[in-house]
Amino acid sequence: EIVMTQSPATLSVSPGERATLSCRASQSVSSYLAWYQQKPGQAPRLLIYGASTRATGIPARFSGSGSGTEFTLTISSLQSEDFAIYYCQQYSNWPRGVFTFGPGTKVDIK
Amino acid sequence: QVELQESGPGLVKPSETLSLTCTVSGGSISSYYWSWIRQPPGKGLEWIGYIYYSGSTNYNPSLKSRITISVDTSKNQCSLRLSSVTAADTAVYYCARHSYGYNPFDYWGQGTLVTVSS
């Protein structure tokens, strides 16, 4: 099973500042990496897939990069609605493998 | 707009079977994969398994012996059964859609909390 790790566990950022979140896979997942945003009491929402493609309706301040085992989600200028938990997820071993998520990074207000 | 809605008992006794249904509206269940994902309170996300509309399945080995996922295309529903539950199975259970191929979960239900307790 591919293990996903994320850092930091918590990121304190002021509104308007840049946030950089990291995700690492225990083995290469190529570019089959997604990022999700989850707010309290809500389901996760797809932000980025294919490591760098924004999902429909996602603002341009969200960007993803990386391939293989190292990935980054950048929020260029944090808005109040961006304070949430962010999860990365690999889907590289479709169709017969296990999809795995990272433990999440909580972005809170500094 | 595709919408997913999970439904089922919110309380299940230990050793019994958890049964949930995901109803898809605004689109067809056909031609897609439908996964179940769970999240214990205050914790991260765990993929449970998926079913293709045709009926083929893939389960997380950590839960495989206790899971059954089924689909009813006539009702636009998929279902999860998890047997022999314990307190560790207490979680919010989500259903989510993904497309054929290497694709992420693009639509999610709102989730339903299932508590395992006597």
Write down the pLDDT at residue A97.
Answer: 87
Question: Residue B59 carries which side chain, given as an amino acid letter?
Answer: Y
Contact A99 B47 (CB under 8 A): yes
Cα B38 to Cα B114: distance, rounded to the nearest angstrom:
10
Q: Burial of A57 by CB count in 10 Å (0-12 exposed, 13-18 middle, 19+ buried)?
A: exposed
Question: Residue A107 carries which side chain, given as an amino acid letter?
Answer: V
Tell me: pLDDT of A108 over 90: yes
Cα A35 to Cα A19: distance, rounded to the nearest angstrom:
14
Contact B102 A91 (CB under 8 A): yes
Give residue-wise pLDDT tens across range A64-84. Answer: 999 999 999 999 999 999 999
Write down the pLDDT at residue A62.
Answer: 98
Q: Please tell me the distance in Å from A12's CA to the nearest CA on chain B.
A: 19
Whether chain A has a CB inside 8 Å of the CB on B53: the answer is no
Tell me: pLDDT of B62 over 90: yes
Q: Please tell me the distance in Å from A28's CA to the nearest CA on chain B.
A: 14
Whether chain A has a CB inside 8 Å of the CB on B2: the answer is no
A37, A93, A99, A105, best to mutate vs chain B, most B CBs in 10 Å: A99
